[in-house]
Amino acid sequence: MICLKQISSVTKIKFHNIQVIERSSADSNIVSKLEAQFPTLHYPKPETFSRGECTQNLVRFFAILSMQRSRSGWFETLLNSHINVSSNGEIFSVMERRKNVSTIVQTLERVYNLDWFTSASKNECFAAVGFKWMLNQ
């Protein structure tokens, strides 16, 4: 992932054309060693869309902690563009879900147990599941 810091309001975009002219055999050894460490680069496409098909896949949990007007919506859209990542939006925007600790815990359990159904829900095995939490809520 590449992160660019915007310093001014003027956008200057430069494109670089990078080509690999010759690859040494040492590079291919490194790639094969990395592939051996991570045997599941692509998660399986489920056939019955039941959670049982995806039980062997590790699911990572995340939370996007943000403030309003910080471009967190853009970042969340970027995450959701990946087929195996699901970010469920501002789950605590409704007051009832954050009125006390027990309702917050219940909401988190629903999200992290994959029982939360939103427009971000996908018929795929997940590699990462999370949500966005605005810090002023």
Specify if 77 maps to a domain: yes
Specify if 39 maps to a domain: no
Residue 91 near residue 97, CB atoms below 8 Å:
yes
List, in order, residues 6 or more apart from 60 with CB less than 8 Å away.
127, 128, 129
> What is the CB neighbour count within 10 angstroms for residue 111?
19
pTM of the predicted protein model? 0.60
Specify if 19 maps to a domain: no
Specify if 22 maps to a domain: no
Specify if 65 maps to a domain: yes
Q: Which amino acid is at 89?
A: G
Domain range spanning residue 93? 51-134
Specify if 16 maps to a domain: no
Specify if 13 maps to a domain: no
From first to last of the 137 residues of the chain, give the pLDDT tens digit. 444 444 545 555 555 566 656 666 656 677 677 666 655 556 667 676 566 777 777 888 999 999 988 999 999 999 999 888 889 999 998 999 989 999 999 999 888 887 767 665 677 788 889 999 998 86
Specify if 91 maps to a domain: yes
Cα-atom radius of gyration of the chain, to the nearest Å? 20
Residue 60 near residue 112, CB atoms below 8 Å:
no
What is the tally of structural domains in the chain? 1
pLDDT value at residue 73: 92
